[in-house]
Amino acid sequence: MAISRARKEALLTEYRQQLTTSNGVVMANYRALSVPQMQALRHKAREQQGEVFVVKNTLIELVLTEQGLEFPKDLFTGPTLVAFCHEDVPPMAKMFREFSKESEEGKFTITGGLMEGRILSVDETLSIADLPSREVLLSQVLRTINAPATQMAGVVASGVRQVLNVLQAYVDKLEEGGGVAAEAAA
């Protein structure tokens, strides 16, 4: 279905704006998705601070070319969905991968991505989907940073514990000795 020149200009402006404000893009081909499936996908994308668009292939190719990006010519074949990630890319890629697994064979396939000005292959996009979430990565970094301090505190505490144990043994010995001497005097 042909679209007017004004509509094409509006779409180009929207794609450019989305591309400049996003941290990355995840792309997929889709076929015969129902309206509820498409609504569910868009809702999940909004939960990940992203937006999903059914794009006009020639227009998205034009926007990417304007950005100086080289992409495989077969990247945009058939009906294409593009998810613009306004926060982190891995959760969106993970959501697309899960949606692909839930869909019937061939109805939804990830075709690639875009991150930091670089076009990603399918394998690279799926690798990004395997990354842990930002919160998990931050907790791992904090755990690594805190590990030496925790170990040092354990070493210091064990030294103090040993000194206290020696003192307690000495007090116990004195009490036993004092108690025996008191009984002998009586």
Quote the domain boundaries for residue 53: 5-131
Residue 82 has a pLDDT of 93
Local structure of 28: helix, strand or coil: strand
Count H helices and E strands in the chain, helices first.
Answer: 6, 5
Same domain, 69 and 120: yes
Same domain, 124 and 139: no
Same domain, 13 and 97: yes
In tens digits, the chain (186 residues) has pLDDT values of 578 889 989 999 999 999 999 999 999 999 888 899 899 999 999 998 999 999 998 999 999 889 888 888 778 888 999 999 998 888 899 999 999 888 888 788 999 999 888 888 989 998 888 888 778 888 888 888 888 877 777 778 888 888 888 889 889 988 887 655 555 554
At 152, list the tokens: 């040092």
Q: How far apart are CA 186 and CA 182, in angstroms?
A: 7
Out of 114, 131, 148, a domain closes at 131
| Number of structural domains found in the chain | 2
Residue 46 has a pLDDT of 92
Residue 176 has a pLDDT of 86
Q: Cβ distance 94 to 127 under 8 Å? A: no
Same domain, 98 and 31: yes
- 24-30: strand order across its sheet: 50-55, 80-85, 24-30, 108-115, 118-120
DSSP 171: H
